[in-house]
Amino acid sequence: MIEVEHLTKYYGTSPAVRDVSFNVEQGEILGFLGPNGAGKTTTMRMITGYLPATSGTVRVAGYDVAEKSLQARQHLGYLPETVPLYTELTTREYLDFRGRITGLNNSKERRARINEVMDELNLGSVVDRLIGNLSRGYRQRVGLAQAMLHNPDALILDEPTVGLDPVQITEVRALIKELGRSHTIILSTHLLAEVSMVCNRVVIINRGRLVAVDTPIHMAAGASQQQKVQLEVGGAPAEILVALRSVQGVAKVTTMSQQGSNQVAYGSTDSAEVTMPVSEVALPEGVNLFQVDGNEGADIRAQVASAVVGGGYKLLELKSITPTLEDIFIQVITQEEENEEASAGQITSDLAGDGAGGDEYGDGSEYDGGYKATPQVRTRVTARKRVRR
């Protein structure tokens, strides 16, 4: 339904989006995830034709957004992060205006479509109220209504729950899931819970680059190569720690031990003590909370349980710890940034070459003061150095 190929956007010499490619299938809800400033909004504006790309191609329902913009936009509904509403109009007046400029010229058909959309979005109670008097949640619904009026195949939603209270967020998420039954949706957000609750697939972008594309389930499975087990055990913590260390396949043991009313955390890898975050779990007297990390690919649950019970300790709870989307997101972003820093360092080293400017670079060009004298490479290096500061 939506095809994005090698999409790139520069603002002057600063890259906002760099060589991004992904597809969205018919009827799919795709989560477009990334930290603030990662390039999400810029990408969505290019998909909708609101912003021209520096290079790359976007096709919607087979139409190139750059070459056949009107045809492509007939299949798109767009909810920007800041919805451009006319606050002096009522909900019905605004939707009537939007219907007319989107091509719903027959007044009878336009009124029927407006009523249909308002029923779908539960706007009947505010139909004759001024938009300026509506809550943020209802304004988001009105914004979504204007995006849906021409009955597009795909909806582009940029941060649709920003600024909403918890009740409104829940309502909007439920609404998006319902709309996903009949529409293709790209949902931009930096709220990880939103992605895991609503989306079929996830695209992660950072610093303008695509760093991951997968389903939330597969991403969690891929991040679970090292099994982690959490258990509550009654007994002397030092003795239990020794018993758990002796289990084959165990890479690390972390203990949350209770002293008086405070939780004191300590851990161990082999014989080294490591300070860990303090547990927020209130444990009964004499009960300790352990986390055991296994070697990659090892299932340590049975051996851990046997070591505890066989040692005469009270095993009160044992459960596997599944990495959350937050854990996966941080892991992916951190790895990408480390790779980019390493690449930037290598480029700087290569460009430094044998000294100051004037030396040949191997392709007939020269560099000056450590920067190769071609615009493409100079832009790449200066952009990377700016990020690192």
pLDDT, tens only, 118-135: 998 889 899 999 999 998
* Same domain, residue pair 262 and 147: no
379 lies in which domain range? 356-389
- Rounded CA-CA distance 201/245 in Å is 39
pLDDT, tens only, 79-102: 988 888 999 999 999 999 999 988
What confidence score (pLDDT) does residue 352 get? 55
- Tracing tokens 């029927």 back to the chain, one arrives at 112
Band of pLDDT at residue 266, cut at 50, 70 and 90: very low
What confidence score (pLDDT) does residue 157 get? 92
Q: Compute φ and ψ for 69, nearest 5 degrees.
A: -65, -45
* Same domain, residue pair 81 and 190: yes
pLDDT, tens only, 279-289: 455 677 788 88
pLDDT, tens only, 178-213: 888 888 999 987 777 778 788 888 888 888 888 888
Query: Would the pLDDT of 229 be above 60?
Result: yes
* Same domain, residue pair 362 and 215: no
Instruction: Calculate the alpha carbon distances from 169 to 178, 193, 220 in Å.
Output: 14, 11, 24
* Same domain, residue pair 203 and 136: yes
The domain boundary residue, chosen from 271, 303, 320: 320
- Rounded CA-CA distance 317/230 in Å is 8
What confidence score (pLDDT) does residue 156 get? 93
**What's the total number of domains in the chain?**
3
What confidence score (pLDDT) does residue 42 get? 92
Does any domain span residue 133? yes
Mean pLDDT calculated for residue range 47-63: 93
Angle (deg, nearest 10), helices 166-179 and 136-148: 10
* Same domain, residue pair 242 and 176: no
CATH number assigned to the domain comprising residue 293: 3.30.1220
Query: Would the pLDDT of 49 be above 60?
Result: yes
The domain boundary residue, chosen from 222, 254, 283: 222
* Same domain, residue pair 139 and 102: yes
pLDDT, tens only, 362-373: 444 433 333 333
pLDDT, tens only, 166-178: 888 888 888 888 8
What confidence score (pLDDT) does residue 258 get? 47
Q: What's the whole-model pTM score?
A: 0.64
What confidence score (pLDDT) does residue 84 get? 83
CATH number assigned to the domain comprising residue 63: 3.40.50.300
- Rounded CA-CA distance 164/135 in Å is 9
DSSP string, 119-164: HHTT-GGGTTSBGGGS-HHHHHHHHHHHHHTT--SEEEEESTTTT-
Percent of the chain with pLDDT over 90: 33
264 vs 221 pLDDT, higher one: 221
5 vs 325 pLDDT, higher one: 5
* Same domain, residue pair 47 and 191: yes
* Same domain, residue pair 202 and 244: no
383 vs 319 pLDDT, higher one: 319
The domain boundary residue, chosen from 181, 197, 222: 222
The 55-60 sheet, strands edge to edge: 14-24, 2-11, 55-60, 63-64
223 vs 104 pLDDT, higher one: 104
What confidence score (pLDDT) does residue 379 get? 36
Band of pLDDT at residue 272, cut at 50, 70 and 90: very low
What confidence score (pLDDT) does residue 345 get? 63
* Same domain, residue pair 84 and 218: yes
* Same domain, residue pair 134 and 80: yes
Does any domain span residue 326? no
H/E stretch holding 257 reads: strand 250-259
Query: Would the pLDDT of 109 be above 60?
Result: yes
Between β-strands 2-11 and 14-24, what pairing exists: parallel, antiparallel or unpaired?
antiparallel
Give the chain's mean pLDDT.
78
* Same domain, residue pair 182 and 235: no
What confidence score (pLDDT) does residue 221 get? 60
